[in-house]
Structure 1
Amino acid sequence: MIVITAPTGNIGSHLLSLLLESAPAHEELRVVVRDPARLPDAVRDRVEVITGSHGDAEVVDRAFEGADAVFWLVPPDASLTPEDAYCGFTRPAAKALTAHGIGHVVGVSALGRGTPVAHRAGLVTASLAMDDLIAGTGVAYRALACPSFFENLLEDADTIRETGVFTDAIEADLKAPRAAVADIAAVAADLLLNRSWTGNDSVPVLGPEDLSPDDLARIMTRQLGRPVRYERQPLDELYTDLLGYRLNEAFAQGVVDMKKAKNEGLDAGTTRTPATGSPTTFQQWCARTLGPAVLSEGTRHAR
């Protein structure tokens, strides 16, 4: 049995679809979800549903009973400190992994381990500490070391439509790996279905090429058929904006520290190979996902 956490999120929904398509008949699937109504009817009929938060000890105790493998994704709670949002949320699950003798865990994490800035990278530092917590339980663990997602740009779909501008705090000419969430889900599905691996390791998912914000703007201009440009937001302004969204002060600082670390090479320490690259290009993703979001009037994307 495979347990999937966050099955209605960006990565989890893709993963669940892949597992439903490709898992052998004997492989049972169980999901942990706060609101089962968010699952499509066809999905609810094919999986066992555990209702609740996978940060709750009683919920993960029920969810992990009889399971062989777990897909672990923490939905960061911006009302908490980074440590509480990642490790605090994961501690009940770590205890349940040991109690139920789970053999394999695949988690969503971040690039940066081993770089000089990993210890001061805000949310990424907290995510890497979460990896250590899970690995310390003795399970076989694979941390999907992810860069920034293409899907982050959906937060700017309205402003791209209305003003032709998207923003971030990354240097305009800094090339870095970026990936589509569907590709990350595909790597997770393969690991969960083929559980011959042992020990603990990270699995980078780097996309097919490194791109800068200026590169993204050029590609979006071509794909969307309208001018798009990038504006870099100062880090102090980003911090003020995040506080305006009522984020926890430490969490907001964690976002700022992560952006600062990315500008200092956090994502640059892993070589792209056939094993670490992923297939979806930014051009393809724009055509399939961003284009329809930008070109449809009234689309709103919550931050």
Structure 2
Amino acid sequence: MEAVLGKTVVVVGATGKQGGATAAHLLTAGWHVRALTRNTTGPAAAALAAAGAEVVAADMDDTSSLVRAMAGAHGVFSVQPAPHDPGAPMGYSTETEARWGRAVADAAKAAGVEHLVYASLVEASERTGVPSFDSKWEVEQHIAAIGLPATVLRPATFMEDLVVSKDVLDGSFAHLLEPDTRYQMIAVDDIGAFAALAFADPESYAGRSLTIAGDERTPRELATVLGRALGHPVAYHQIPLDIIRQHDPGLADVFDSSAAEQADVPALRALHPGLMTFEMWLSRHGRAQLAAL
């Protein structure tokens, strides 16, 4: 692994979940973190500055601002909001997401950055016809086409996105999958950990795509784990896909797709021994999220 002392990593999306986790892990590892945001005066930016990051204004619709912000940097972490994210700007779409992802890669190339780490999606290893998957696939293809040394991280479902309804407090956990369908998930903090590992060891990670997950469970098992954490039974209720399709065809297509690769969780845990299971995430982070519902 190369020394990180004095080297700068630019974190795009630093005020979001994945960018914030990456910035935190990089700061802990001793990197100089340059956090990019459109709003340098907001509370998230202030928290980054207090943690030791250099907060810099940049806009993914302004490539020249990105190139300036990346000047002299060793690496860039790139993530764009998904269209359904609460923090996505008005009028944001999968086309915007792909355009922004390409712009960050082009800026990194123009600035002479040595290593880009791109946060993609587990389903983005091929074109699927699902817009929210294909936008990330298009960015991956563009990164490869311009010849930028890069690591692509393809995270599974976020554990944070599984506990978003107050219904769970009343004993009901709902999802679209069959009760005994096994699927993979990862804590957002662990995405940041893998990004930091990639920057610290480019010889092992540059030029590589890595599907990442920390656990594999069924919806029924997740309900049981949530029940233990809450101290009362939690039952699983499957949401009929046809109902979702009436209101959000794109979301229905996501769960109807079989494009997802499978992560090798034991191998990933060997690389990152702190990789969290769902129980570990609940214990460390999830209880606060449950309390905030």
Query: What is the distance in 1 between the residues matched to 2:58 and 2:33?
Result: 16
In the other structure, the counterpart of 1:140 is: 149
Q: Report deviation, 1:200.
A: 2.4
In the other structure, the counterpart of 1:152 is: 161
Identity, % of aligned positions: 24
Query: What is the distance in 2 between the residues matched to 1:276 and 1:126?
Result: 29
**Residue number among 76, 80, 96 corresponding to 1:74 in the alignment:** 80
**Residue number among 264, 268, 289 corresponding to 2:285 in the alignment:** 289
Whether the 8 Å contact between 1:169 and 1:235 is mirrored in structure 2 is yes
In the other structure, the counterpart of 2:48 is: 43
Aligned length: 275
- What are the Cα deviations for residues 279-300 of structure 1, in whole angstroms up to 9, with x where unaligned? 2111111222223332x3xx34
Q: Report deviation, 1:178.
A: 0.9
**Residue number among 84, 108, 116 corresponding to 2:119 in the alignment:** 108
Distance 1:77 1:269, change over 3 A: closer
- What are the Cα deviations for residues 196-237 of structure 1, in whole angstroms up to 9, with x where unaligned? 347522112121x32111110111112211121222222342
CA-atom RMSD, angstroms?
Answer: 2.5
Whether the 8 Å contact between 2:198 and 2:206 is mirrored in structure 1 is no
Whether the 8 Å contact between 1:122 and 1:257 is mirrored in structure 2 is no
2:49 alignment partner AA: R
The 5 A counterparts of 1:2-41 are 2-23=9-30, 27-36=31-40, 37-39=42-44, 41=46
Query: What is the distance in 1 between the residues matched to 2:175 and 2:140?
Result: 27
**Residue number among 61, 66, 73 corresponding to 1:60 in the alignment:** 66
Distance 1:276 1:113, change over 3 A: farther
SS of the equivalent of 1:39 reads: helix
In the other structure, the counterpart of 2:212 is: 205
In the other structure, the counterpart of 1:127 is: 136
Q: Which has the higher contact order (CA 8 A, sep 6+)?
A: 1
Q: Report deviation, 1:186.
A: 0.5
Whether the 8 Å contact between 1:60 and 1:93 is mirrored in structure 2 is yes
Query: What is the distance in 1 between the residues matched to 2:47 and 2:155?
Result: 30
- What are the Cα deviations for residues 248-293 of structure 1, in whole angstroms up to 9, with x where unaligned? xxxxx433221111xx3x3354444423676211111122222333
Distance 1:114 1:4, change over 3 A: closer
Query: What is the distance in 2 between the residues matched to 1:198 and 1:185?
Result: 14
Q: List gaps (5 residues or longer) in structure 2.
A: 1-7, 85-90
Whether the 8 Å contact between 2:37 and 2:45 is mirrored in structure 1 is no
2:119 alignment partner AA: V
Distance 1:114 1:105, change over 3 A: closer
- What are the Cα deviations for residues 55-99 of structure 1, in whole angstroms up to 9, with x where unaligned? 4323312222222210001112344442x1331222322321222
Query: What is the distance in 2 between the residues matched to 1:132 and 1:226?
Result: 47
**Residue number among 176, 183, 190 corresponding to 1:176 in the alignment:** 183
2:211 alignment partner AA: P
In the other structure, the counterpart of 2:105 is: 94
SS of the equivalent of 2:286 reads: helix
TM-score (norm 1): 0.81
Distance 1:238 1:114, change over 3 A: same
